[in-house]
Structure 1
Amino acid sequence: MAEHTFEKRRALSLAILTKGERLTRKSGSFLGQLIVDPTPMTPAQTDWFNTLVERAGLASDGGADV
């Protein structure tokens, strides 16, 4: 899995939150955490983030494999 910068992860998280489609409270909280916390994600968090990116239609923008 490719490593991506905090800034890219932050931008994708903001884009997903701005779209606001199909987000649960848990998903919104997770994305908010990613916006402010530069700590590397665990493999499980990375999988969940990639799922959220794909659902938001941002995977074609280089969002997959974050």
Structure 2
Amino acid sequence: MTDHPFTSHREAALTLLNGAYRLSRKAGQFLGQLAVDDSPMSEAQADWLAKLLDRAGLPPLAAGETQ
């Protein structure tokens, strides 16, 4: 879909939710929360999102977005 890092966690979450990626219910709920909540992610949330993006073969978040 894109070769460039995602500029926001919302953009990354929506890409995962709208794509044909295999997600658990828990992952879907997590991504839905990220899609609507603009508050900064915790380190644990950033790690989980990074893992989901990696598993889907998508680029990571842009540097600094995880803070």
Q: TM-score category by the smaller chain? A: 0.7 to 0.9
Structure (1 or 2) with the greater helix fraction: 1
RMSD: 2.1
TM-score normalised by L of structure 1: 0.74
Mark the runs of 5 or more structure 1 residues left unpaired by the alignment: none
| Cα distance in structure 2, aligned partners of 1:64 and 1:20 | 23
Amino acid across the alignment from 1:25 = R
Aligned twin of 2:61: 63
Amino acid across the alignment from 1:50 = A
Number of aligned residue pairs: give it: 59
Amino acid across the alignment from 1:48 = W
Tell me, what secondary structure is at the counterpart of 2:21?
Answer: coil
Higher relative contact order (CA 8 A, sep 6+): 2
Mark the runs of 5 or more structure 2 residues left unpaired by the alignment: 1-5
Percent identity at matched positions?
47
Aligned twin of 2:53: 53
TM-score normalised by L of structure 2: 0.73
Counterpart mapping for 1:32-51 below 5 A: 32-51=32-51
Greater than 6 Å deviation, 4+ residue runs: none
